[in-house]
Structure 1
Amino acid sequence: MPLAGTADAVVAELEQERTEEDLAAVRKRLAEGEEAIGVRMGTLFAIARRHTSLPLPEVERLLALPAYEPRLAAVCVLDFKARRRRTGAYERGTLARTYLGHHHRITTWDMVDRAAPRVIGLWLVGRDKQILRDLAASPDPLRRRTAMTAPLGFLDTPDVEAGYEVADLLAADRNPLVHKPVGIFLKHAGVRDEDRLVAFLDENVALMPRPAVRLAVEKLPPDLRSRYVRPA
């Protein structure tokens, strides 16, 4: 058996949970030709949680593998590490640099959504946000998704305004990988400050794809929602 605390141990556990039914379901979410093992998501998350203490070089080994599940497990481990209360500033920076340095191995939207708010967002609280502006300017929609998903980590902090700045940069983005997280950020930020959301929509709604608008106004009162979208 592979040694505990290694990438090989994580892969062995994933392979033990493989089923043909789950493989068929996973392949529906992946690009054609992308390798997969075939593991149910809840099972994968449980395996990753058990390996929260996995050393970062072993996390990097998982990210280098071709199959989808080991790479998703790797970003889940980064997320679980970032959630720990005892995680200090230095470690947060190391986690963030691991994520960003291996972004080319992040090939699906769920990898971004799983890790970006806590691994990138929490790290950036109180820090310069240039990395988000750089990601927002990337031709890669998954990097732009990271730029817009990371600010979910700002929602309970004064840094939330930086999320609006990224949303302003990406408001007109037509790619669903990007405009959906724009709407999701705005929806949750609007719960914190409805007036700020309304001001953003008044300025940007004409540029935004309709799905992003519908998501953004989801938690607004009906009279305000109807100002931006027609009732069903």
Structure 2
Amino acid sequence: MSDTIRKLRKVLQESIDSTPAKVSIFFKTGPGDYAQHDRFIGITVPTLRKIAKSFLNLAMQDLGLLIQSTINEERLLALIILTGQYNIGTSEQKEEIYQFYRTNIGHINNWNLVDSSAHLIIGAHLFERDRDFLEELAGSQNLWERRAAIVATWYFIRKSELGWTFKIAKLLQNDSHDLIHKAVGWTLREAGKKDEARLIAFLCDHAHQMPKTMLRYAMERLSQKEVINRKL
């Protein structure tokens, strides 16, 4: 373990500003649940973001140690730092970070980890590149990889490019997991903010196959819910 990691972990322990129970309240950590593997020490996200600013130049080797930690806050901190590095990196550095992310995707294994990083690294990197990897993720047996596939398209939505959001949503519309239903639903909702007519058309074609949670999230902000309701 490097001196930098020792220092960082000391900072983390000194920065605990909550309790494990409070910071894990939105995760299912019981036996057999999706987050049963995760440990929390009680640090809120705003505090982690402040710490990340002080360690923005953390070496990739040290980031590798953090991303493999059993502690959720350490993995999340690694991803916050990575997204910061990606944002200011050179083309070569961005490629290295993207490849690091892909190599360590098995450790990006809770919804907060995926949702804080997939669009900012996978989405950003593939925006002007081949996107077949998103289809590969969507077809994965791994819940978090499937979630990463749809969340990554959030970057495209922000750039007003919606095609891949609807494409991945269609691939995942029959998924059995509630966390995919929610992610697809809110991503479709965000796409609808850019083009409501296109979202309505998509829902009219696919709503009958979509789980109720997915459909409810997708329709949250629509001004023409009655149009869909008449057509379903």
Query: What TM-score, normalized by structure 2, do the two folds share?
Result: 0.87
Q: State which of 150, 153, 156 in structure 2 corresponds to 1:151.
A: 153
Q: Partner of 2:220 in structure 1?
A: 218
| Cα deviation, residue 178, structure 1 | 0.9
Q: Is the 8 A contact 2:114 2:148 kept in 1?
A: yes
Distance 2:107 2:41 in 1: 16
Q: Secondary structure at the match of 1:172?
A: coil
Q: State which of 28, 40, 47 in structure 2 corresponds to 1:43.
A: 47
Q: State which of 68, 86, 91 in structure 2 corresponds to 1:64.
A: 68
Q: Percent identity?
A: 29
* Structure 2 gap ranges (5+): 30-34
Distance 2:126 2:90 in 1: 13
| Cα deviation, residue 129, structure 1 | 0.8
Q: Is the 8 A contact 1:180 1:211 kept in 2?
A: yes
Q: Is the 8 A contact 1:49 1:76 kept in 2?
A: no
Range that drifts further, 141-150 or 74-83:
74-83
1:35-63 CA-partner distances (Å, limit 9, x unpaired): 33222222122112322221222111111
| Cα deviation, residue 153, structure 1 | 0.5
Distance 1:66 1:130 in 2: 30
Q: Partner of 2:177 in structure 1?
A: 175
Q: Partner of 2:32 in structure 1?
A: none
Q: Is the 8 A contact 2:160 2:194 kept in 1?
A: no
Residue 103 (structure 1) aligned with residue 100 (structure 2): no
Distance 1:156 1:33 in 2: 33
Q: Secondary structure at the match of 1:205?
A: helix
Distance 1:33 1:167 in 2: 28
- Residues 189 and 10 (structure 1 numbering): CA distance in 2 closer, same or farther, change over 3 Å? same
Distance 1:61 1:213 in 2: 39
Alignment: residue pair count: 222
Q: Partner of 2:137 in structure 1?
A: 135
Q: Is the 8 A contact 2:182 2:214 kept in 1?
A: yes
Q: Partner of 2:21 in structure 1?
A: 24
Q: Is the 8 A contact 2:200 2:228 kept in 1?
A: no
1:176-212 CA-partner distances (Å, limit 9, x unpaired): 2211111111111111112211121111111111111
Which one-letter code corresponds to 2:141 in the other structure?
P
Residue 73 (structure 1) aligned with residue 77 (structure 2): yes
Distance 2:37 2:137 in 1: 27
Matches within 5 A, 1:107-122: 107-122=109-124
| Cα deviation, residue 92, structure 1 | 2.1
Which one-letter code corresponds to 2:47 in the other structure?
T
Distance 1:97 1:25 in 2: 34
Q: State which of 5, 10, 13 in structure 1 corresponds to 2:8.
A: 10
